[in-house]
Chains A and B, each alone.
Chain A
Amino acid sequence: MEQGVANSRASAEKKTLTREAFKQLTQLAGLALRDQDLEALAPRASQLLQSIALLEELDLEDVEPIFLVDILKGE
């Protein structure tokens, strides 16, 4: 388990998005960002992806996603 956590932390740290990859993703979304924005935002995108990658350290076997908060089912 601890090894798994260590691996996922290492993988989170590796999740960097290059300026070029960020450009491609935003282009796919129909955006044409200026060079200066790509430069400034690519590191922020990496930071966001790294923070999300922390979720990889969890064992999610048998855990189904929530699509609408379950509390509504109580009715």
Chain B
Amino acid sequence: MNTKEIFSFSVRQLSKAFIQKEISPVEVVQALLERAIEVNPRLNAFITVTQEEAMRAAKEAEAKFLSGTVSGPLQGVPIAHKDIVYTRGIRTTAASKVYKDFIPSYEATVVTRLKEAGTVLIGKTNLHEIAFGPTSAVSHYGPVRNPWNLEHIPGGSSGGSAAAVAVGLGFGATGTDTGGSIRIPAAACGIVGIKPTYGRVSRYGVMPLAWSLDHIGPITRNVEDAALLLEAMAGYDPHDPSSSQLPVPNYARALTGDLKGVRVGIPKEYFFELAEEEVARAVQEAVRVLENAGARCEEISLPHVKYAPAIRGALIFSEAAAVHEKAMKTRWNDFSADIQAKLSLGTTIRAQEYIQAQRVRRLLERDFLNAFRRVDVLATPTLPIVAPKITEGPAEVKGIDRDPNTLIPFTFPYNATGLPAISIPCGFSSSGLPIGLQIGGKPFDEETVLKVAHAYEQRTPWHTQKAPLSIP
């Protein structure tokens, strides 16, 4: 087998190739490490490439295939972790000068679980510093670039994870999502990212940004891979006080391709009003695809969703300032100007404003839960625009602030409510940049979210399109 073929393989294809001994985990890791040397300087997706660890784990996986003791479809599959996910003995920088020498003495629960599932860690990915921003243009290690156009941002904060996966430097990666940081880069890079329900995946061992809003999830090239990784990551963890004890379903089994009887809600306010025309058009076309596949689509109302940006303003800034309070006092000058600005703003929010935002958050939650009495999922754009240029400054379009730092109006409502949501590719702009479709669901109903996303994916070509940089 030509090792270059593997860069666009799905997890299932790779697993099958391992089982049929067409290629070995060691050969795959070698090919990926060589490719990383070639591509990473242009993308800047990785902060650390864990060459030795990757080869060691690949040899271990190879031995399991030889001895017939394979643990499952993720055995020997190379993945990456966002560099705020703690990896024991491997530096975890959060893309910040403040944490550049931080070597965790323990690992995140998601790291343990993905290791137990057989994955091979190939590196730690670049991000927006301390995960506090949606561009990934602000990093102590330099900006991450979008593989579809290197002058553009890949989205963030999990920009390195998305850029790496989009070009085949790994078959999946972990991301974190406090305001959209999994779904935004997935949409901007033309791939898949799912933020599960709050409590579904343990937050233990992941540097927080805002405790009440942080989520962990996978970023992959297709929906089935997302289902496989999510299943491995999910489950109760006594180390995380918000962890749910609900059993983890077999997500891949839900991917039937059948949408008959599925009810899809289209919010009548906010999302389509604020999205740029070609983004709104692509998502409306995606809704037609769902209808043609047997789904019943209907308009629903979310009266308080317009307050989501205000809720975000009160919660993220103040929680982040609390998380980083010690470093703010001792390492202030080691934060970038962007992060200094955001953290200092967090000190100006009064306790009353924080509490009021938590009260409005309840109204928003009621809106979504009311909507989910009538429909199974909601379909919206993931982003109001396509990825802007790295150098692009603030702008206002259709009354919304289009500062690249405020790319999150459509993703944040799912952080505030804790509900699951996925972004999948649904087209391209006239400038050749990917557009994302966001599908949100009921509490702990990741199965339906994945099922609808997969059914759409099966009927459209977008996930088969490759970023120019992904072609060896």
Contact = CB atoms under 8 A, between A and B. Distances in A.
Contact of A68 (B212, B310, B340, B355): B212
A60 B311 CA distance: 14
Contacts of A66: 212, 358-359, 361-362, 365
A1 interface: no
A31 B333 CA distance: 11
B11 interface: no
A43 B19 CA distance: 60
Interface string A7-40: 0000000000100001001101111110001001
Contact of A29 (B197, B311, B321, B443): B321
- The majority secondary structure among interface residues of chain B is helix
Contact of B314 (A37, A52, A71, A75): A52
B444 interface: yes
B359 A60 contact: yes
B244 interface: yes
Interface residues of B, number: 44
A75 B246 contact: yes
Given A17-B348, A49-B348, A69 B365 contact: yes
Given A65-B362, A75-B245, A52 B357 contact: yes
Interface of B: 197-199, 212, 242, 244-246, 304, 307, 309-311, 313-314, 317, 321, 325, 328-329, 332, 340-341, 344-345, 347-349, 353, 355-363, 365, 417-419, 443-444
28 contacts: A25-B347, A26-B347, A30-B325, A31-B328, A45-B344, A48-B313, A48-B345, A49-B348, A49-B349, A52-B353, A53-B310, A55-B311, A58-B363, A60-B356, A60-B363, A63-B363, A65-B361, A66-B359, A68-B212, A69-B365, A69-B418, A71-B365, A71-B418, A71-B444, A72-B198, A72-B199, A75-B245, A75-B246
